Amino acid sequence: MAGFIDSLAIMLIGLGMGLLLVALYVLFAALGKIDAAKEKLAMPAMAIGFFDFISGFLMAFTWPLPGGYNMLFGDPLLMFGLLLFIGSFMFYKGKDPSLMTILSFLLGIYVILGAYAMVVDQLETGANFLPAFGLYLSSGIGALLSPILIIKPVGASKVLYYIEFIILIVAAFVAFFIGYNALLHHLVSFAHYYPA
């Protein structure tokens, strides 16, 4: 057995990529360019969704460290990846993926509860708290607002699309910030690591 491999950095970067692709889909929809969205976003979203699902699955079921981080991060990443993969596949095949927004809403509840637990149970402290809490709060709110995509983007409802886009972009960049920061720290901390 190889021992512990910390893939958290690439998982966060994958999450950021998935959130960015969803944000771009929302923007394309708001602009009425849904065909361009299918051509440009569907296949990359399937690939990133598959990656997020697999990495979330591995963390959810094999995370060896103590604490609830497999539930805090692995479980929602697994579900996000699954929803992204299935939703983008449905979109690519010309099916209506709007039901996925209801499932995203339910995942958003999980993520918001994770943000709450992060504060109440002090799961993250110090310098890690604010970015982690920001990620959970912004991605949770983005998921909770996702059912607005059921409404056609005309008139005042188009503003809701732009709000959703901004929230998802913020969540994506927070995920990138944490992921790239984790990469730099993990490279140093694992520089002399040898499996037992």
Each domain of the chain, given as residue ranges in start order, spans 8-188
pLDDT single digits (tens) 11-58:
999 999 999 999 999 999 999 999 999 999 999 999 999 999 999 999
User: Tokens standing for 167?
Assistant: 């929230």
Give whole-number Cα distances, 29 to 22, 150, 162, 175, in Å.
11, 11, 10, 23
Determine the topology of domain 8-188 in CATH.
1.25.40
- CA distance linking residue 51 with residue 56, whole number of Å: 8
pLDDT score, position 3: 52
pLDDT score, position 1: 36
Q: What pTM does this model have?
A: 0.92
pLDDT score, position 83: 98
The chain-wide mean pLDDT, for the chain, equals 90
- CA distance linking residue 74 with residue 63, whole number of Å: 8
Task: Name, in order, each residue with C-beta under 8 angstroms of 17's C-beta and a sequence gap of 6 or more.
Answer: 48, 172
pLDDT score, position 2: 46
pLDDT score, position 189: 72
pLDDT score, position 196: 60
Comparing CA positions, the residue from 110, 109, 90 lying closest to residue 100 is 90
Helices and strands (H and E) in the chain: how many: 7, 0
Regions of the chain short of the pLDDT cut 50: 1-2
